[in-house]
Amino acid sequence: MLVVADNFQITDPAICAAIDTMQAAPLQKRIRRYEAAGAQAIDVNMGPLGAHGSRKMVFCIEALQEVSSLPLYIDTVNSQAIEAALKICRNPVVINGFSLQPSKLETILPLAVTYDVDIIGYLLDPGGQVAADCQTRLALAIELYDCFQKSGLEPERLIVDPIVVPLIWQDGVKQAGEVLQTLRQLPDVLGFPVRTIAGLSNLTAGRGYREKRLLMEKAYLPMLSSAGLDMILMNINHSETIHLVHTCRVFTHPGIFTWEQI
């Protein structure tokens, strides 16, 4: 599993302030810290981005790629800002992302075609709602892949997100299982070893219970790994969970095991 940091968010007051006042240093300090903590890619979560969205995005991407060559996941629903990022981003880039929502099919998916980059597809229904179970997720995946193929992109460009939901949702525990089943069945259903990503922090969304949240995370992560997950979007400050990612890799990279490798 590849570790994608989910910490770079415009909702973080310090990041928001640095972007508003066009100060690169605080942003660069962050990405250096995430990289040191084990991030192999950074989700640049810019929210919907209002006025000057493209300008803010460009400033941010420029600042980050000045100090890091990590892949950047461009995470916003603002297609103009995504395009602005794609035009200037020299690091490997992933659009995060599209779904069956008509606006995203119309404005975001085509950007992956134009700029020939990887794109994450969420298994959400056309209204943006989370599916109730594995079967519905797989049906959405078939529909999503159909749109994807029609756009002319190579299958390798697709990364599917089955959508992890908070455990505290009414059906949260059941959903955690449905996500695992979806991950296991996706390659067969789509007919190729499609790459997958999941947001671990979402599982324990909310406040309080820090120790328990870490425990739930550390129980669910190996389950995701064992179900075939390729990329984990997670809180890079959770060092024990990062360590666990490395440990899980032993099981997904067959070869002769030695204690020195972990």
Sites of contact with a copy of itself (CB under 8 A): 167-168, 170, 172-174, 176-177, 180, 208-209, 212, 215-216, 218-223, 225-227, 243-244, 247-248, 250-251, 253-259, 262
To a copy of itself, the closest distance from the beta carbon of 192 in angstroms equals 20
Nearer to a copy of itself, 55 or 218 (CB): 218
To a copy of itself, the closest distance from the beta carbon of 102 in angstroms equals 33
Measured between alpha carbons, how far is 253 from 49 in angstroms, rounded to an integer?
40
Segment 101-107 long-range contacts (CB within 8 Å, at least 24 positions apart): 101/126, 101/127, 101/128, 102/126, 103/77, 104/77, 105/147, 107/79
Report CA torsion sign: 170, 176, 181, 186: positive
Nearer to a copy of itself, 61 or 248 (CB): 248
Nearer to a copy of itself, 24 or 214 (CB): 214
To a copy of itself, the closest distance from the beta carbon of 176 in angstroms equals 6
To a copy of itself, the closest distance from the beta carbon of 189 in angstroms equals 17
Measured between alpha carbons, how far is 107 from 109 in angstroms, rounded to an integer?
6
Task: Give Cβ neighbours of residue 111 (< 8 Å, ≥ 6 apart).
Answer: 79, 82, 83, 86, 95, 117, 119
Nearer to a copy of itself, 50 or 254 (CB): 254
